[in-house]
Every structure is written in structure tokens, then in C-alpha cells.
Amino acid sequence: MNGATIPTSPRLPKPVGPVSAAVVELLTTGVGASLNMAHPDPFDRDRQLAWFVLNGLSYRGWADVDDEMEWHPLVVEWRRNLEEWFMAHAQEQVWLHDLSVADAIDRAIAPDGSPSVAGWLAERGRREHLVDAVAMRMPYQMIEADPHTFAVPRLEGDVKRAICDVQAGEYGVGHEFSHAELYARAASALGLEESDVLDRLPGVAFATVNFITACALRRSWRHIVVGQLTLFEMDSVAPNRHMVTACDRIGVPDEVRRFFHVHVLADAEHERMMEDAVVRRLCANDPDCAADVTFGIAAQRWIDRAVAEHATEAWEHGASVLLDRAVLAAA
């Protein structure tokens, strides 16, 4: 991963269980059968990785995998089954009270005593913790903005225009690099290589990009992804400011600090855009969509909390969130 270069088609991650193994076999041989997607843990590593690999066919694809596999009947079936498995868990876990969208946002971003990756790093993180945090972002950040772009043709009016404005910033229109390219530079500066990282991430690290992709690609879930993006933008400036503080305190390459600092600047404007388009306009003009928008906000907060709990618990015990290579080799 040199400079701002993002590989067109990364190699397939190594399977970690029966579901991801079946997915890799299907993509490489064309042979597959029905799978049982049920599992009590919504962040199960095997299923989240399998889902991520299937979704990857709609983005950069995978090295040595035919692009035509994106619409293979089993790929479509398995993606749908994994989407519905995860969404069933989300519906059980998140609060779905009769809150306004504004109240849902306030509730999601208000301090509640739960762990914060950015806050933890700003106060006491070390370089290895910052590397972990950057690695955990990789499944989404390497394709930052692309998942939300799938939702654009499914929307209309003010919210469509607002998301297009946000996306222009994410894609770096008028700037030297897109945010995904800035991330690639930051990861490279920290010695992170995509294929290695994807093989070592916990399941929860794949949940955000999988959730966004599922909602953006289904018209019936389009307002869920609007809520998700609204929280993304309205709960971005403070955490990224904490990350800049962590970068300054720890001492990291300029590329790493720049990635977080750009988000402080850009997302302040994006926050205003989404608040105006979603909170003040979309839900006022179309009250029927408010429940889905609120669900998107709550579901992303649930995922964020799970990521933070996983990371900070590992760090508190002197461990890394990245799985040990020796353990993986022996598995």
C-alpha cells in the first residue's frame, strides 16, 4: 500500500470458519450449497467476514475472483440471509421508542459512561493502541463513501442533495486526495497492510460496512442508511478531535494526523448539512420515514459501542484487537 494507492482488487481474506470457508470456495470454484447463517452472536467473526467478502464483490472485487460472481444466485441468497440475520439481532438490541430524530441523535451522542476508543486513546493510548484503532477502521475506510453512494438513487429531494454534497467532500472533490486515499496513506505510514489486517480483525470490525452496504442496496431500507449516515456525520468532529490529540501526544507520522484532522474540518460542515436535510426537512415532510431513520441512528450507535467495548477491553488487559499471527497459523 504505497502513497495514496488503493489496490483495485485485494486478495481474498483467509476463511475462519465454515461459513467464510464456503464463501471462499464458492467464489474460487463456483461450487456451493445452502448454509445455516443462524448464530447467537451478531458479531460472530466467521459470519461477519463471510458477509464482508460477499459485499466486497460490489466494490473493488477480489483478486482471482470473476467479477460475474457478484450476481451468482448463491451469492445473492447468502448476502440476503446474512443481512436478515444481522438485522434481526439489531432489532432486538436497539432502542425503538417513539423518539423524534433529533432526540434520537441527542441520545446517541450524549455521554453515557460507555467506552470510547477516541477518548481512551486521547487520555492514555500508546502507539500500538493507535495502530489497532486505525486497523479496526480498515473494512470501511478503504472504501469510505462508496457504501453510502449506493443509496443516492434511492433517495430524492433535500436529503439526496445533502448526501451528494457530503459525498463530494468524502471523495476529495477539489482536493488532492479522497478520504479513502488519506486513510490508505495513514495505514501505510503505520505499517498496516490490507490483506494482513483483514485476516486478523475481529468480527465486530466488519459490522459497520456490512450494515451500511445492506441498507444502501435495499430500497426498503434506504432511510435506515440515512439515519446511519446522519449519526456518522453528527458524531464525528469530537471523536476525530480526540484522535488528533492522541496523534499529537503519542507522536505519529504526519499522514496519520492528517487523516483525522481532515475529518474534523470536513465533518463540521457535513454535520450541518445532514442536520438540516434530515432532522429539519426529511422527517418533517415525510413523517413515515422517521422510524427507519431513528433505527439507523440507534443501530449504528449499538455497533459503535460494541467496537469500543471490544477494543478497550483488549487494551485494558494488555492485548491487541488484532488476532495473533501465530494463533491464526495454528488454527
Q: For residues 57 and 165, state if they share a domain.
A: no
Q: How many CB atoms lie within 10 A of CB 63?
A: 12
CA atoms within 13 Å, Cβ hemisphere of 82: 30
Mean pLDDT for 176-182 is 96
Write down the H helix ranges in the chain.
18-29, 45-56, 73-93, 101-109, 117-124, 127-136, 138-141, 146-149, 157-170, 179-189, 194-200, 207-217, 222-234, 237-250, 254-274, 283-285, 290-316, 325-330
Q: For residues 62 and 106, state if they share a domain.
A: no
Does any domain span residue 1? Answer: no
**What percent of the chain is predicted at pLDDT more than 70?**
95
Does any domain span residue 263? Answer: yes
Q: For residues 81 and 142, state if they share a domain.
A: no
Nearest to 279 by CA among 104, 111, 143: 104
Q: Is the pLDDT of residue 328 over 70?
A: no
Distance CA(39)–CA(89), nearest Å, equals: 10
Q: For residues 81 and 204, state if they share a domain.
A: no
CA distances from 143 to 190, 209, 212, 266, 283 (A): 19, 9, 12, 17, 28
Cβ neighbors of 60 (< 8 A, separation 6 or more) are: 6, 7, 8, 9, 10, 143
Q: Is the pLDDT of residue 98 over 90?
A: no
- The residue with greater pLDDT, 165 or 286, is 165
Domain that holds residue 266: 98-330
- With cell 426537512, the residue in question is 281
Q: For residues 102 and 87, state if they share a domain.
A: no
Q: Is the pLDDT of residue 180 over 60?
A: yes
- The pLDDT score that the predictor gives to residue 278 is 82
Mean pLDDT for 238-266 is 95
- Residue 277 near residue 161 (C-beta atoms within 8 A): yes
Mean pLDDT for 270-274 is 81
Boundary residue ending a domain (91, 110, 137): 91
Does any domain span residue 82? Answer: yes
Q: For residues 208 and 291, state if they share a domain.
A: yes
Q: Is the pLDDT of residue 181 over 90?
A: yes
**b/e sequence 29-52, b meaning 16+ C-beta within 10 Å:** eeebeebebebeebbbbbbbbbbb
Q: For residues 293 and 165, state if they share a domain.
A: yes
Does any domain span residue 2? Answer: no
Distance CA(1)–CA(167), nearest Å, equals: 24
Q: For residues 212 and 308, state if they share a domain.
A: yes
pLDDT band of 6, cuts 50, 70, 90: low
Mean pLDDT for 150-168 is 93
- The pLDDT score that the predictor gives to residue 306 is 98
Mean pLDDT for 280-301 is 88
Q: For residues 110 and 36, state if they share a domain.
A: no
Query: Where is average pLDDT lowest: 233-237, 265-269, 321-325?
Result: 265-269
Average pLDDT, the chain: 92
Q: For 183-207, how does the pLDDT look when each residue is reduced to its tens digit (9 = 90+)?
A: 999 999 999 999 999 999 999 999 9
**Global confidence as pTM:** 0.95
- The pLDDT score that the predictor gives to residue 326 is 56
- The pLDDT score that the predictor gives to residue 101 is 86
Q: Is the pLDDT of residue 2 over 50?
A: no
Distance CA(263)–CA(261), nearest Å, equals: 5
- The pLDDT score that the predictor gives to residue 293 is 93
Q: Is the pLDDT of residue 1 over 80?
A: no
Q: For residues 25 and 107, state if they share a domain.
A: no
Q: Which amino acid is at 92?
A: E
Can you give the CATH number for the domain in which 238 is found?
1.20.910.10
pLDDT band of 230, cuts 50, 70, 90: very high
Boundary residue ending a domain (33, 64, 91): 91
> How many domains does the chain contain in total?
2
Does any domain span residue 206? Answer: yes
Does any domain span residue 11? Answer: no
Q: Is the pLDDT of residue 330 over 90?
A: no
Does any domain span residue 154? Answer: yes
Boundary residue ending a domain (91, 109, 129): 91
Q: For residues 36 and 171, state if they share a domain.
A: no
Q: For 56-81, how does the pLDDT look when each residue is reduced to its tens digit (9 = 90+)?
A: 999 999 999 999 999 999 999 999 99
Q: For residues 145 and 184, state if they share a domain.
A: yes
- Residue 327 near residue 317 (C-beta atoms within 8 A): no
Does any domain span residue 56? Answer: yes
